[in-house]
Amino acid sequence: MALDFTLVQLRYFQEVARRENMTEAAKHLNVTQSAISTAMAQLERTLGIDLFIRQKNRSVVLSPAGRRFLFEVNPFLESSDALGETAHGLAQSLSGNLTVGVFSPIAPTRLPLIHAEFEKRYPDVRVNYFEADLHELHTAVIAGECDIALTYTLGLTERFDTYLIDVVRPHALVSLEHRLGGGADGPRPIHLSELAEENYIQLDLPFSRQYYDELFRIAGIAPNVRHSFAGYETVRSFVAMGHGYSLLSQSVSSGTYIGSKTVDVPLLDDFPSIDLAMIWPKDVRLSRRARAFSELTREILGSNESEEPLID
């Protein structure tokens, strides 16, 4: 016997489950809180189960039955979205919403370029962005708060599928006036040991710090950590002012917020590279919007080392 519930009710349920608050879900969906409450009550009556455990201030938590139901609802709604996109025909007619997570150090220099081109090609897709560190992105992707996320693959588990965008190699960062800055001829490649006695300005982000710590271990040296910051641009500004050197992975312009400049110094050490990739929950089928965004991102940022196709 078919149960008489609607896609709207299921989408409301999914959003309430994500936010654990009916008022917040209503704000995100741009509907009234009473519409959410009524829809959830109707859905529970139709199913004959309690999906939520109600708490104070319109807060809710999923019941055991609600968690099992959400596990089935998520792929069902993804298939529904895919069916709707297929009905719209060609990729050029893509529409709807897409939420993309972005690793915070990547966002300022990469994201505006991607967004400008994506908006030009797919003007009917509304893209929202979530900027965060690696740990926060992993959590958001698994929780369904992001459709996809552009990030380094550091710390990834088997819970994710990936689409390679680029292969990134680490470099040392020094000020323009540093002895290794190179002057008019540019910097020469060095071994990390050449900086062993100098102050190290550490980028202290989850998984990133462990990666750079491993590079020091491989080089057989212990860094003289003088300052540690979670802000990518703070690290660059301290280096630009001559307070020390740093290790980073992405190359950006030499300018900083304070006007002083930095120089990327290539490393001769045999250090492991890291992958820049789009990630999403394992075994979840990407929407055509997410596929289009991923493929465009690799078109703009990718290198010859990222050639495998994005397949279902």
Six token digits for residue 149: 């996320």
d(CA 274, CA 164): 10
According to DSSP, the residues that pair with 152 across neighbouring strands are 276
Domains of the chain: 7-85 (1.10.10.10), 95-168+274-301 (3.40.190.10), 171-266 (3.40.190.10)
Please give the pLDDT value at position 91: 46
Please calculate the CA angle 279-266-137 and round it to the nearest 5 degrees: 20
Of 164, 152, 266, 265, which Cα lies nearest the Cα of 210?
152
Query: CA quadruple 191, 196, 201, 204: dihedral positive or negative?
Result: positive
d(CA 290, CA 114): 13
Rg (CA), the chain: 23
pLDDT by 10s per residue, the chain, length 312: 556 788 888 899 999 998 888 888 888 888 888 888 888 899 999 888 999 988 877 688 899 988 999 888 888 888 777 776 666 554 456 888 999 999 988 888 889 999 999 999 999 999 999 999 888 999 998 888 899 999 998 888 888 999 999 998 999 999 988 888 877 777 889 999 999 999 999 999 888 899 999 999 999 999 999 999 988 889 999 999 999 999 998 777 666 667 788 899 999 999 998 899 999 988 888 888 999 999 999 999 886 555 565 655
Cα atoms in the Cβ-side hemisphere of radius 13 Å centred on 292: 27
pTM for this structure?
0.65
Please give the pLDDT value at position 215: 93
Alpha-helical runs (H) found in the chain: 7-19, 22-29, 33-47, 64-87, 107-121, 134-142, 208-219, 232-240, 288-301
Give me the DSSP letters along 144-168.
TS-SEEEEE-TT--TTEEEEEEEEE
Please give the pLDDT value at position 246: 94
Of 290, 301, 293, which Cα lies nearest the Cα of 119?
293
